[in-house]
Chain A
Amino acid sequence: MPEIKVTPLGAGQDVGRSCILVSMGGKNIMLDCGMHMGFNDERRFPDFSYITSEGSATNFLDCVIISHFHLDHCGALPFFTEMVGYSGPIYMTHPTKAIAPILLEDMRKVAVERKGESNFFTSQMIKDCMKKVIPVTLHQSVMVDADLEIKAYYAGHVLGASMFHVRVGSQSIVYTGDYNMTPDRHLGAAWIDKCRPDLLISESTYATTIRDSKRCRERDFLKKVHDCVDKGGKVLIPVFALGRAQELCILLETYWERMNLKVPVYFALGLTEKANNYYKMFITWTNQKIKKTFVQRNMFDFKHIKPFDKSYIDNAGAMVVFATPGMLHAGLSLQIFKKWAPQEGNMVIMPGFCVQGTIGHKILNGAKRIEFENRQVVEVKMSVEYMSFSAHADAKGIMQLIQYCDPKNVMLVHGEYAKMEYLKDKIKKEFGINCYNPANGETSFINTSSKIPVDASLALLKSENKEYSLLPPDPKRRRLINTVLISREDGVCLTDSNEAEEAASINKHTVRFTSTIYIRDAGTVESTAQKLLQPLQDKLKDWEIKLLDGSTIGVETVLVKVQADPGEEINKKIYVSWTNDDEEIGSYILGYLQNLLS
């Protein structure tokens, strides 16, 4: 039985450092190569020794596929290609290829320059790594080699995020990366066709959540921001440069315009501004509405939102600031947080998921005192709000995707263990298919059995079709086919028996049986044959029974022939004859006639 082997090196029962190894049909594929935001030690990267213990990664892997530009999906890529050593092909979409190096560089700066880490990848390494990337477009069938085919589908999580269908021979998997099943203000919803993979590897960040309607959350968000600034408070919204930032900017921009608000809204200069440019140029990846209107007014040209300068941190009065990164683990957002946290009137809104170990995760769990590495202590008096704006599918969305692509097995990754267990049961119950959720380093074996494509001679199928269409229509009738399979050096082919004999140069040997029944029946041979016809037709309803000439009845190769000696009027001989092909009918007819006539 062929099988698919899947081993998560990261994102197994966890969120962060997504990295999944898949082996099928003799090919090894790495899905994502991310880093963990919650760690600063070697746990930050996936454990690549798993693949390098027996030789180089380039020899082991056939390709690496990156689903989107978030660092927990691509953050370890330069480390893997340049420091571990991998020179094979890497696939990602155009927007991912454009944006990923910027985020990587930004992260590298924070790690090396602010935290003073050594043994980290360099800027040059990021560039060298990106040179190995082959960009793909949606729905394009990319042949990595003669047997390995990959195809990207829209995932709607961030700009350029995609799901990948990977096929080797008749085995296939779909890896979702992160995806979103509901369109938002700037992106469309994930979509995949009914590709029936053997395995669907799905993220499960919100495995147990069923989110209320998007409109409610948006109203809630705007109300909180508005209330806070009305009272003169400062609102900090930590975001990742690309993705939620754009959606929330569009939301605030339209609200500010409608309510005619004057309170300043800023976004951290640099990344986000540049990011908006990417959105402008990759507008084909956004949703229908933005695409339609972009010629007249590009949604990403904001009027009310202005660039932020660090000196504004200490400005008096209300303001709203978008700052990176989104989990408050480093950078400007953390800097602002430290300043604003002790004042009661201020507010921080966490619009997305935070991994364990980050400040974001701590304050969301109610921490009121945060101690930093340099012994600095910050009292958190500002209000802390959590709004799930991160574009992951919720439980309903995951179930919907399973229904869309109709897999034979499901594997959950990129989620918390307890939540996965709950969803796993639900999937098993609802779809009656196997569901896996391996931990990091744990290998799952998925048995696959799929249809095997074989060539068939057109003559064979045409003659079957001709025969079938001659029969009266009957929806219950099964179409039957008797063929010969020939396996030669040039391949396997199904043919009819004549073609087969020719192809294999064998001489068919026909074995025919003849038995005689003696009866007494007055009249011509024709009348005797006529008398036999009706009972045979009644008895053998499945078969077509014909009168061939006046005195012979035929069924397939079976012949029932009535004969009499010249001048003889009563004694007749009935020959029943058939080839070995129709042994069952022949012997049945003989037996039946013997019974009937004795």
Chain B
Amino acid sequence: MSTEPTKPCLVVTFKGITLMLDCGLNMQSVLNFMPLPLVHSAKFDALPYWTPRDESKDWQIDRELKSHAAANRLFVDSAPEFCPPVEKIIDFSQIDVILISNYTCMLALPFITEGTGFKGVIYATEPTLQIGRFFMEELVEFIERSPKEIVAKHWKEMIHVLPPPLADCIKPKSWKHIYSKAAMNAALSHIQLVGYDQKLDVYGALSVTAISSGYCLGSSNWIIASDHEKIAYVSGSSTLTTHPKPMEQNMLKHANAIILTGLAPLPNQNPDTMLGEFCMTIATTLRQGGCVLIPSYPSGVIYDLFECLSIHLDKTGLSQVPLFFISPVAETSLAYSNIFAEWLSSGKQNKVYLPEEPFPHAFLVKNGKLKHYTSTHAEGFSTEYRQPCVVFCGHPSLRFGDAVHFMQLWSNNPLNTVIFTEPDFVIEQLLAPYLPMAMKALHYPIDTSLNFSQANKLIRDLKPDHLVVPERYTLAPLTVPHRNDLVIEPIGDKPLITFNRGEVIKLPIRRQKTRVLLEPALAETIKPVEIRPGVSMATVTAELEVKDNTYTMKYLESRNGRKRKTQGLPPCKEDVLRGRRIEFGSINPELLIQKLNQEGITGAKLQRTPQSAVILLQDSNAKIELQDNSTLICCNGDLKIRRRLRMCVLQCLKRI
């Protein structure tokens, strides 16, 4: 339901349960909007408003679109809008469970759960909830603190006459403004916390389990299992060693299907090399007296950046350069990172046993090297601020947050550098509204999530029956169309199952068996008969109880069967069912006649035809017709005779 595989949102229906897998928010749409500066920007204000050439019709869009000559495009001058998961394909009130893989894949939650009649539960780990919460808080805060007077909406009516790239926007009418803090809190209150390897029961029909995915603090893959089937949902995973707990792979094996999303969108970068170049570039810039801006999210790779950068600066004699971390949630982020010991790699975990803070940034904060502020207006920032320095702040889209301020402040100086590490956006689009600029802009995408070759290797190891991927993963990336190696390979000769936004596909998993529980009292009465070596059978008649999607078979008590017979009451269902057995084998006519004689039924005459043998019993006025798989006993209304015949016939057959 999302167009971006790194911000997935899928819905799976299995055993009558509707599960939503992740709830990522696609933010590409915000790049079409003007940045939200903290203070009025002369440069942005000076941009002319765009007016349509065709003035025959009143589009009512004056003051909605700004024309940016340097970027050669139009921007919407309004509060940014986001592209939430598609509506109308599924009724959100029918969703039973939402599984969240990590904090980057949950920002669309309020769009799904608030005002839609949503009644389900959301499962996420504790770090996912806490960090996800401050991702959301930051986003809402950034946008709320720079309110726009005008809500531009008329431009959406006329995209067909607008120049590209606005003309290429897909369904801008479905874009939405950011949610309120209240909606955010309400959405998060649906979350129930889970631990890794905790089996959660979903209405008795399924069990879901979060397992470590190694991508970020508390990130998880999910196992969705019934008694016999297993679907694995792999999203945002990493096989590299960074700060989170390593990825759990064993549990993903032998799945009927693996749904794979969240692969690195820019597949040809090695994060370690990028990190090295990142540190070197910063050192070079600082030495030349320039400042460095690193637009970043408030948690995640940023912790590794603090760690590596501070070590590198110490080594290169730049340890006196201050690092600023500016975010409304900076303090919270730093504090929380040090209390999630259980979710960290064993190296970091062992520090807690000493007891020392697992991340060195706690130490950096203590000795004043890393300073954190809620915003550039925060008390103390202006007195501490000095150049050169390194600033980490949001938002990586450069459309809102303190990053907008620093872009305006520094972009005219060629000594300064802005470094993009988040892989979510295309750098040219990010910078467009700031053109022309003198500042250097570099892109060192540091993405630890699986790349295509790692993913292909993983899949070969895991050997799922079926592999389900976004269709995009079967084509070479748009930026490098010749790289045919950058695709997901099918497993063996089975074709990949692909999906697109808004598409409904059927997974080829056929359920054949399910689990039932036998009560001990019933189990004791079951006496299997050996049919042939290794195979035994028994008929079981029981009362079936279906409660919470669990089947239980109970011992079936008779309702006064004997009393019924003596009183001439009709037989009840329980007794009839219990009397049912399976007869098998075929009857030897001679043997049957022998049995009949023993029983005192004499005068049998055997007639053979090609298909059958008929035994005529003239004395008893009866006839038994024998075929390979059936026997017909005809007699007149004499009850006693018939019972005796029945007994003899059954004695000649095998029964279970």
List residues of chain A with CB under 8 Å of any chain B CB.
94, 97-98, 101, 135, 137-142, 151, 274, 277-278, 280-284, 294-295, 449-459, 461, 464-465, 478-489, 493-494, 497, 500-501, 504, 506-517, 539-543, 556, 580-585, 587-588, 590-592, 594
The answer, yes or no, to whether B49 is at the interface (CB within 8 Å) is no
- A103 CB, min distance to chain B CBs, angstroms: 13
Of all chain B residues, the one with the shortest Cβ separation from A576 is: B637
Q: Contact flags (1/0) for B616-647 with A, using CB distance below 8 Å?
A: 00000000000011111111110100100010
A506 to B583, CA, bound (A): 10
Chain A contacts for B513, CB-based, 8 A: 455-458, 493
Within 8 A of A (CB), among B256-290: none
The answer, yes or no, to whether B435 is at the interface (CB within 8 Å) is no
Chain A contacts for B544, CB-based, 8 A: 464, 479-481
Chain B contacts for A582, CB-based, 8 A: 576
The answer, yes or no, to whether B600 is at the interface (CB within 8 Å) is no
Of all chain B residues, the one with the shortest Cβ separation from A140 is: B197
A590 to B639, CA, bound (A): 9
- Whether B520 and A141, one on each chain, are in contact in the complex, defined by CB atoms closer than 8 angstroms, is no
- Whether A580 and B650, one on each chain, are in contact in the complex, defined by CB atoms closer than 8 angstroms, is yes
The answer, yes or no, to whether B541 is at the interface (CB within 8 Å) is yes
- A187 CB, min distance to chain B CBs, angstroms: 15
- A319 CB, min distance to chain B CBs, angstroms: 28
Q: Contact flags (1/0) for B342-385 with A, using CB distance below 8 Å?
A: 10000001001101011000000000000000000000000000
The answer, yes or no, to whether B556 is at the interface (CB within 8 Å) is yes
* Known contacts A450-B520, A483-B540, A486-B537; is-contact A512 B631 (Cβ 8 Å): yes
- Whether B355 and A281, one on each chain, are in contact in the complex, defined by CB atoms closer than 8 angstroms, is yes
- A270 CB, min distance to chain B CBs, angstroms: 13
Stretch at the interface among B99-107, B485-493, B567-575: B567-575
Chain B contacts for A135, CB-based, 8 A: 342, 349
Of all chain A residues, the one with the shortest Cβ separation from B339 is: A283
Given pairs A479-B545, A507-B585, 10 additional interface contacts (CB within 8 A):
A141-B198, A283-B339, A451-B517, A479-B546, A497-B582, A510-B629, A512-B630, A515-B642, A516-B634, A542-B572
Within 8 A of A (CB), among B570-613: 570-577, 579-587
6 A-B pairs with CB atoms under 8 Å apart are A140-B195, A142-B197, A482-B580, A512-B633, A515-B635, A583-B646
- Whether B528 and A485, one on each chain, are in contact in the complex, defined by CB atoms closer than 8 angstroms, is yes
Of all chain B residues, the one with the shortest Cβ separation from A575 is: B634
Task: Point out the residue from A277, A464, A507 that lies within 8 Å of B628, measured CB to CB.
Answer: A507
- Whether A514 and B633, one on each chain, are in contact in the complex, defined by CB atoms closer than 8 angstroms, is yes
* Known contacts A94-B341, A507-B585, A587-B639; is-contact A480 B541 (Cβ 8 Å): yes
Chain B contacts for A101, CB-based, 8 A: 353
- Whether A484 and B539, one on each chain, are in contact in the complex, defined by CB atoms closer than 8 angstroms, is yes
Chain B contacts for A485, CB-based, 8 A: 526, 528, 537-540
List residues of chain B with CB under 8 Å of any chain A CB.
126, 194-199, 209, 227-228, 331-332, 335-336, 338-342, 349, 352-353, 355, 357-358, 511-520, 523, 526, 528, 531, 534-546, 551-553, 556, 570-577, 579-587, 628-637, 639, 642, 646, 649-650, 653, 656
- Whether A507 and B584, one on each chain, are in contact in the complex, defined by CB atoms closer than 8 angstroms, is yes
* Known contacts A509-B587, A580-B646; is-contact A484 B656 (Cβ 8 Å): yes
Chain A contacts for B580, CB-based, 8 A: 482, 581
- Whether B584 and A506, one on each chain, are in contact in the complex, defined by CB atoms closer than 8 angstroms, is yes
* Known contacts A278-B355, A509-B631, A515-B636; is-contact A458 B512 (Cβ 8 Å): yes
- Whether B520 and A509, one on each chain, are in contact in the complex, defined by CB atoms closer than 8 angstroms, is no
A281 to B580, CA, bound (A): 66
- A163 CB, min distance to chain B CBs, angstroms: 15
A530 to B196, CA, bound (A): 68
Interface of B is mostly: mixed
Chain B contacts for A458, CB-based, 8 A: 511-514
- Whether B541 and A508, one on each chain, are in contact in the complex, defined by CB atoms closer than 8 angstroms, is no
* Known contacts A451-B520, A487-B536; is-contact A461 B195 (Cβ 8 Å): no
Task: Point out the residue from B534, B551, B579, B586 that lies within 8 Å of A507, measured CB to CB.
Answer: B586
Which 9 residue pairs spanning A and B have beta carbons closest together? A451-B517, A584-B571, A449-B520, A139-B198, A479-B544, A140-B197, A506-B584, A510-B630, A481-B544
Of all chain A residues, the one with the shortest Cβ separation from B513 is: A455
- A32 CB, min distance to chain B CBs, angstroms: 21
Chain A contacts for B575, CB-based, 8 A: 584
A390 to B546, CA, bound (A): 45
A193 to B198, CA, bound (A): 13
- Whether A486 and B535, one on each chain, are in contact in the complex, defined by CB atoms closer than 8 angstroms, is yes
A541 to B576, CA, bound (A): 14
* Known contacts A480-B541, A511-B653; is-contact A284 B630 (Cβ 8 Å): no
- Whether B355 and A98, one on each chain, are in contact in the complex, defined by CB atoms closer than 8 angstroms, is yes
Task: Point out the residue from A282, A465, A487 that lies within 8 Å of B339, measured CB to CB.
Answer: A282
- Whether B646 and A513, one on each chain, are in contact in the complex, defined by CB atoms closer than 8 angstroms, is yes
- A245 CB, min distance to chain B CBs, angstroms: 16
Task: Point out the residue from A452, A542, A587, A591 that lies within 8 Å of B518, measured CB to CB.
Answer: A452
- B497 CB, min distance to chain A CBs, angstroms: 23
- A98 CB, min distance to chain B CBs, angstroms: 4
Of all chain B residues, the one with the shortest Cβ separation from A170 is: B517
Chain B contacts for A459, CB-based, 8 A: 512
Chain B contacts for A504, CB-based, 8 A: 531, 535, 537
Chain A contacts for B581, CB-based, 8 A: 580
- Whether A480 and B646, one on each chain, are in contact in the complex, defined by CB atoms closer than 8 angstroms, is no
A584 to B579, CA, bound (A): 8
Task: Point out the residue from B542, B576, B653 that lies within 8 Å of A585, measured CB to CB.
Answer: B576
A500 to B511, CA, bound (A): 18
Chain A contacts for B227, CB-based, 8 A: 455
